[in-house]
Amino acid sequence: MANPLVVFDCDGTLVDGQHSICTAMARAFEEASLVAPDRLAILSAVGLSLPHAMARLLPDADADFHAHLAERYKLAFQALRRENAVSEPLYPGMADLVHDLDRAGWLLGVATGKSDRGLALCLTHHGLIDRFVTLQTADRHPSKPHPSMLLTAMAEAGASPDTTVMIGDTSFDIDMGLAAGVRSIGVAWGYHAPDELIAAGAQAVAMDSSELRRHIGAP
Protein backbone atom coordinates (compact mmCIF):
# COMPACT_ATOMS: atom_id res chain seq x y z
CA MET A 1 0.00 0.00 0.00
CA ALA A 2 1.33 3.43 -0.96
CA ASN A 3 2.28 5.88 1.77
CA PRO A 4 0.47 9.21 2.28
CA LEU A 5 2.74 12.09 1.28
CA VAL A 6 2.44 15.88 1.52
CA VAL A 7 4.96 17.85 -0.54
CA PHE A 8 5.39 21.54 0.24
CA ASP A 9 6.92 24.28 -1.82
CA CYS A 10 9.26 26.39 0.34
CA ASP A 11 9.39 30.14 -0.46
CA GLY A 12 5.90 31.60 -0.34
CA THR A 13 4.44 28.43 1.21
CA LEU A 14 6.44 27.36 4.26
CA VAL A 15 8.52 30.51 4.67
CA ASP A 16 8.37 34.12 3.52
CA GLY A 17 11.72 34.80 1.89
CA GLN A 18 10.59 37.69 -0.28
CA HIS A 19 12.77 40.37 1.34
CA SER A 20 15.97 38.38 0.84
CA ILE A 21 14.96 37.22 -2.64
CA CYS A 22 14.17 40.76 -3.83
CA THR A 23 17.33 42.18 -2.26
CA ALA A 24 19.57 39.55 -3.86
CA MET A 25 17.85 39.95 -7.22
CA ALA A 26 18.26 43.73 -7.12
CA ARG A 27 21.97 43.33 -6.33
CA ALA A 28 22.43 40.82 -9.16
CA PHE A 29 20.87 43.16 -11.72
CA GLU A 30 22.67 46.24 -10.44
CA GLU A 31 26.04 44.45 -10.54
CA ALA A 32 25.30 43.61 -14.18
CA SER A 33 24.57 47.33 -14.82
CA LEU A 34 20.87 46.66 -15.29
CA VAL A 35 17.79 48.25 -13.76
CA ALA A 36 16.36 45.79 -11.25
CA PRO A 37 12.81 44.50 -11.87
CA ASP A 38 10.15 45.69 -9.47
CA ARG A 39 9.16 43.59 -6.48
CA LEU A 40 6.01 42.14 -8.03
CA ALA A 41 7.87 41.06 -11.15
CA ILE A 42 10.53 39.33 -9.05
CA LEU A 43 7.97 37.56 -6.91
CA SER A 44 6.07 36.40 -9.99
CA ALA A 45 9.15 34.35 -10.96
CA VAL A 46 9.78 32.77 -7.55
CA GLY A 47 9.54 29.00 -7.77
CA LEU A 48 11.22 28.67 -11.14
CA SER A 49 14.83 27.56 -11.28
CA LEU A 50 17.12 30.58 -11.48
CA PRO A 51 17.90 30.54 -15.23
CA HIS A 52 14.17 30.19 -16.00
CA ALA A 53 13.38 33.01 -13.56
CA MET A 54 15.95 35.24 -15.26
CA ALA A 55 14.46 34.40 -18.66
CA ARG A 56 11.05 35.49 -17.36
CA LEU A 57 12.48 38.73 -15.96
CA LEU A 58 14.72 39.51 -18.94
CA PRO A 59 13.13 37.80 -21.95
CA ASP A 60 15.22 39.59 -24.59
CA ALA A 61 18.56 38.30 -23.25
CA ASP A 62 20.09 35.01 -24.34
CA ALA A 63 20.50 31.82 -22.33
CA ASP A 64 24.17 32.49 -21.52
CA PHE A 65 23.28 35.86 -19.99
CA HIS A 66 20.43 34.28 -18.01
CA ALA A 67 22.94 31.79 -16.61
CA HIS A 68 25.35 34.65 -15.83
CA LEU A 69 22.64 36.55 -13.95
CA ALA A 70 21.66 33.38 -12.08
CA GLU A 71 25.25 33.06 -10.82
CA ARG A 72 25.25 36.71 -9.76
CA TYR A 73 22.04 36.09 -7.81
CA LYS A 74 23.61 33.12 -6.02
CA LEU A 75 26.64 35.20 -5.06
CA ALA A 76 24.39 38.04 -3.86
CA PHE A 77 22.36 35.66 -1.72
CA GLN A 78 25.52 34.12 -0.26
CA ALA A 79 26.70 37.64 0.60
CA LEU A 80 23.43 38.27 2.43
CA ARG A 81 24.05 35.10 4.48
CA ARG A 82 27.54 36.28 5.39
CA GLU A 83 26.02 39.61 6.45
CA ASN A 84 23.46 37.73 8.57
CA ALA A 85 20.81 39.52 6.52
CA VAL A 86 18.76 36.58 5.22
CA SER A 87 15.18 36.65 6.50
CA GLU A 88 13.00 33.55 5.95
CA PRO A 89 10.34 33.48 8.69
CA LEU A 90 7.83 30.65 8.79
CA TYR A 91 4.27 31.59 7.93
CA PRO A 92 1.85 31.43 10.88
CA GLY A 93 0.78 27.91 11.80
CA MET A 94 3.08 26.10 9.38
CA ALA A 95 5.44 24.65 11.99
CA ASP A 96 2.50 23.21 13.94
CA LEU A 97 1.01 21.80 10.74
CA VAL A 98 4.28 20.09 9.79
CA HIS A 99 4.64 18.59 13.28
CA ASP A 100 1.01 17.44 13.38
CA LEU A 101 1.15 15.83 9.94
CA ASP A 102 4.33 14.02 10.92
CA ARG A 103 2.80 12.74 14.17
CA ALA A 104 -0.32 11.60 12.29
CA GLY A 105 1.73 9.38 10.00
CA TRP A 106 1.97 11.51 6.87
CA LEU A 107 5.33 11.48 5.10
CA LEU A 108 6.55 14.96 4.25
CA GLY A 109 8.61 16.41 1.44
CA VAL A 110 9.70 19.67 -0.14
CA ALA A 111 9.92 20.55 -3.84
CA THR A 112 11.56 23.92 -4.35
CA GLY A 113 13.49 26.15 -6.70
CA LYS A 114 16.00 26.67 -3.89
CA SER A 115 19.41 25.02 -3.90
CA ASP A 116 20.16 21.99 -1.75
CA ARG A 117 22.27 24.14 0.56
CA GLY A 118 19.71 26.93 0.81
CA LEU A 119 16.87 24.54 1.63
CA ALA A 120 18.91 22.66 4.23
CA LEU A 121 19.94 25.90 5.95
CA CYS A 122 16.34 27.16 5.98
CA LEU A 123 14.79 23.98 7.39
CA THR A 124 17.61 23.48 9.89
CA HIS A 125 17.21 27.06 11.13
CA HIS A 126 13.55 26.35 11.90
CA GLY A 127 14.23 22.93 13.43
CA LEU A 128 12.15 21.15 10.79
CA ILE A 129 14.62 19.31 8.59
CA ASP A 130 14.22 15.98 10.41
CA ARG A 131 10.48 16.01 9.71
CA PHE A 132 11.00 15.62 5.96
CA VAL A 133 11.80 12.32 4.27
CA THR A 134 12.39 13.72 0.78
CA LEU A 135 13.89 17.07 -0.29
CA GLN A 136 13.90 17.97 -3.98
CA THR A 137 15.58 21.12 -5.30
CA ALA A 138 16.53 22.91 -8.49
CA ASP A 139 20.09 21.56 -8.12
CA ARG A 140 18.99 18.13 -9.31
CA HIS A 141 15.87 18.66 -11.40
CA PRO A 142 14.42 20.59 -14.33
CA SER A 143 12.56 23.74 -13.37
CA LYS A 144 8.94 23.63 -12.27
CA PRO A 145 6.43 22.91 -13.72
CA HIS A 146 8.25 19.80 -14.93
CA PRO A 147 7.04 16.95 -12.64
CA SER A 148 10.53 15.51 -11.98
CA MET A 149 10.70 16.76 -8.37
CA LEU A 150 7.35 15.24 -7.46
CA LEU A 151 7.99 11.97 -9.26
CA THR A 152 11.27 11.56 -7.38
CA ALA A 153 9.67 12.56 -4.07
CA MET A 154 6.97 9.92 -4.50
CA ALA A 155 9.53 7.27 -5.42
CA GLU A 156 11.66 8.07 -2.37
CA ALA A 157 8.66 8.10 -0.02
CA GLY A 158 6.95 5.02 -1.41
CA ALA A 159 3.91 7.13 -2.32
CA SER A 160 1.70 7.17 -5.39
CA PRO A 161 -0.14 10.00 -7.16
CA ASP A 162 -3.42 9.12 -5.46
CA THR A 163 -1.83 9.29 -1.97
CA THR A 164 0.15 12.50 -2.59
CA VAL A 165 -0.76 16.16 -2.10
CA MET A 166 1.21 19.11 -3.49
CA ILE A 167 1.01 22.39 -1.57
CA GLY A 168 2.22 25.61 -3.17
CA ASP A 169 1.70 29.32 -3.66
CA THR A 170 2.38 29.66 -7.39
CA SER A 171 0.86 28.46 -10.62
CA PHE A 172 4.17 26.65 -11.24
CA ASP A 173 3.48 24.47 -8.19
CA ILE A 174 -0.05 23.69 -9.31
CA ASP A 175 1.07 22.95 -12.88
CA MET A 176 3.78 20.63 -11.54
CA GLY A 177 1.29 18.83 -9.33
CA LEU A 178 -1.14 18.30 -12.17
CA ALA A 179 1.65 17.10 -14.46
CA ALA A 180 2.55 14.50 -11.81
CA GLY A 181 -1.10 13.48 -11.39
CA VAL A 182 -1.38 14.51 -7.73
CA ARG A 183 -3.94 16.51 -5.79
CA SER A 184 -2.76 20.14 -5.79
CA ILE A 185 -3.75 22.75 -3.20
CA GLY A 186 -2.82 26.43 -3.33
CA VAL A 187 -2.11 28.82 -0.49
CA ALA A 188 -3.21 32.44 -0.60
CA TRP A 189 -0.38 33.94 1.46
CA GLY A 190 2.38 33.55 -1.13
CA TYR A 191 3.48 35.19 -4.36
CA HIS A 192 0.73 34.39 -6.90
CA ALA A 193 -2.86 35.54 -6.50
CA PRO A 194 -5.53 32.97 -5.55
CA ASP A 195 -7.34 33.40 -8.87
CA GLU A 196 -4.12 32.44 -10.69
CA LEU A 197 -3.94 29.25 -8.64
CA ILE A 198 -7.56 28.36 -9.34
CA ALA A 199 -7.06 29.09 -13.05
CA ALA A 200 -4.04 26.77 -13.03
CA GLY A 201 -6.24 23.98 -11.69
CA ALA A 202 -5.80 24.03 -7.91
CA GLN A 203 -8.36 21.85 -6.16
CA ALA A 204 -8.68 24.57 -3.52
CA VAL A 205 -6.84 27.63 -2.20
CA ALA A 206 -6.35 27.88 1.56
CA MET A 207 -6.54 31.32 3.16
CA ASP A 208 -4.65 30.26 6.31
CA SER A 209 -2.96 27.22 7.84
CA SER A 210 -6.14 26.03 9.54
CA GLU A 211 -7.97 25.94 6.22
CA LEU A 212 -4.99 24.22 4.62
CA ARG A 213 -5.12 21.56 7.33
CA ARG A 214 -8.77 20.87 6.46
CA HIS A 215 -8.08 20.70 2.72
CA ILE A 216 -5.27 18.21 3.26
CA GLY A 217 -7.45 16.12 5.55
CA ALA A 218 -5.01 16.47 8.43
CA PRO A 219 -5.91 15.93 12.09
Catalytic residue among 9, 16, 173, 175: 9
Q: Is the per-residue pLDDT at 159 higher than 80?
A: yes
> How are strands ordered across the β-sheet holding 159-168?
134-136, 107-111, 3-8, 159-168, 183-187, 204-206
Q: Considering the entire predicted model, what is its pTM?
A: 0.96
User: Three-state DSSP class for 58?
Assistant: coil
Catalytic residue among 11, 169, 173, 175: 11
pLDDT tens digit string along 7-63?
999 999 999 999 999 999 999 999 999 999 999 999 999 999 999 999 999 999 999
Confirm whether 11 is a catalytic residue: yes
Q: Which domains does the chain have, with CATH numbers?
A: 3-16+88-216 (3.40.50.1000), 18-82 (1.10.150)
Confirm whether 16 is a catalytic residue: no
Report DSSP state, residue 14. Answer: T
